[in-house]
Amino acid sequence: MTRCDIHPSILSADFSRLGEELQRIRTADAAHVDVMDNHFVPNLTLGLPVVERLQRVSPVPLDLHLMIEDPDRWAPAYAEAGCASVTFHAEAAAAPVKLARELRAAGAKAGLAVRPATPVEPYLDLLPELDMLLVMTVEPGFGGQSFLDVTLPKLRRAAAAVRAHGGTVALQVDGGISEETIARAAEAGADTFVAGSAVYGAEDPAAAIAALRRTAREHSAAAHGA
């Protein structure tokens, strides 16, 4: 069966009770945690001390998305804290291969993210060093933005490269994911989906997660002729 993983973003959660908010998404495949430094992106969220606390109480693995400057310096600590995966931005990393290897050595899966306007082709040779490739479908920095359909051709090219590589690298999308847009992203080849308000804005987050997963699986299967 085609992988269709749902990673709700706690950026849309109630920050005053994050432990409880993580329990609300215990049927998800992972919790997506955005770390922003107010430099790489114009927003400030949370850092390593909070992530360490979340790691202790989360019922699901933590999927870290570092929207920060100098991830070469800061990213390994998140892997050492026990996070399941740590994704850094291609635009910010000085030595992405070295960093990916350090993350893997520390026990985390290594992810590489690209902004909507960043071409993916220069990084496709790095696929053997990665466990996940994140194609941003909004500009990083804020939740609640609308999905950018202009990213779909890039997503299709990335999916083709991942399949050629052997299909072992997860292809994640982040930004504006809803029941409507997840269908288009799945058809383009994504298999891992970050959803914020679509989950945390729902009356029943578990039902929202199930609906997103079902829609993604249906359209992914259709795209691959299953």
Cβ-contact 129, 100 below 8 angstroms: yes
Host H or E run for residue 161: helix 152-165
**Residues that are catalytic:** 34, 174
Backbone angles phi, psi at 34, to 5 degrees: -90, 120
Give the integer Cα–Cα distance in Å for 146 and 27: 25
Q: Which of 119, 118, 109, 112 is nearest to 97 (CA)?
A: 112
Residues in contact with 78: Cβ distance below 8 Å, sequence separation at least 6, in sequence order: 35, 48, 51, 64, 66, 86, 108
The vertex-119 CA angle with 111 and 92, nearest 5°, equals 50
CB 199 within 8 A of CB 30: no
Among residues 147, 148, 165, 168, the alpha carbon closest in space to that of 157 is found at 165
